[in-house]
Chain A
Amino acid sequence: MTAGRNPYLWLQTIGGGTGDQIDPVNIPADRIAMARGAIDMALKAGEDGALIPQRLGVRLRATAERRRLLLTLLGRDGAPLVTIAVAPRDRDGAKLWPMMAKAAADQGQSMSFARPREPWAVVLAYTSVMQFAGTGDVAWLPMIEAELACAWLEMIRDD
C-alpha cells in the first residue's frame, strides 16, 4: 500500500447522521469474495443489473469509470433501494461528490456533512427500502453496503 494512504473506509449515509470508519480487514474474506463476485457480475450485466447471492431477489447495477464506482441495489419490484458511490482516491471523490449531492437533492435530501477524506463510500437511500421492513431482518443492507465498498477497494488494489 502507498505510504500515507488512508487504510480505512469512511462509510456515510446521506441524512444518516454520523458515518462509520471501517477497517476492511474486519470484514470476513468470504463476504468480500461474494461482494467482488456480485460487482463483477453487475458490471458485466449492464443496465439490467445482476441478482446478488447475498439476498434473494435483490439486483445490483454497477457502473465503473476509472477507479470510481457507482452501485445501485434494486428491490424485487425493480425499485432502487440505495445508491452507493465509492471514491478510492481524492480525484475520484472530487468527481463523485457533486454527483451524489445532485442525486440527493433530486430526492429532496441534502448532504449534511462535509466531504470525507478518501477512500469513502456515500449511500443514498430511497423510500423503497421500506419493502423490507416486514422481514424482521434489517441489518443486511448496511452490511452489504460496507462489503461492496470494501470489495471494490480490494478489486482496484489488485488491478
Chain B
Amino acid sequence: MTDAPDRSKSDLPPLAVALKAYRARHGLTQREFAALVHVPAARIRDFEQAGLSPDTHLAKVAAWALDAAGE
C-alpha cells in the first residue's frame, strides 16, 4: 500500500491539526494514541499527515481534541 503524501500544515483540516497537537501535548505517539482510542495507527497517520477523511469515530475523537484545545 502506498502511503498518502504529506500535505503542508495549512492544507490540513483543522481537526487533523488539533488531533496532532493534542497527542503532542500529552506526549503520546500515534501508536499509543491508536491503542487508546481503538483506531489503527495507520489511519491516524493518514489523517494527520494527509488529511484523509477519518471515519466517524476518529472524527469524533478529533473533535474532542479540538474542544479540549479551546478550554
Contacts and interface: CB of A to CB of B under 8 A. Distances in A.
Interface stretch (A9-17, A87-95, A148-156): A9-17
Nearest to B58: A15
A17 B35 CA distance: 11
Interface residues of B, number: 25
Interface stretch (A25-33, A49-57, A58-66, A124-132): A124-132
B40 interface: yes
A82 B38 contact: yes
Contacts of A39: none
A50 B56 CA distance: 30
B61 A127 contact: yes
B69 interface: no
Given A15-B55, A107-B56, A138-B28, A130 B61 contact: yes
30 contacts: A14-B38, A15-B38, A15-B39, A15-B55, A15-B58, A16-B39, A16-B40, A18-B40, A108-B55, A108-B57, A125-B39, A125-B57, A127-B60, A127-B61, A127-B63, A129-B36, A130-B61, A130-B64, A130-B68, A132-B36, A133-B22, A133-B23, A133-B26, A133-B33, A138-B28, A138-B36, A139-B32, A141-B35, A142-B35, A142-B38
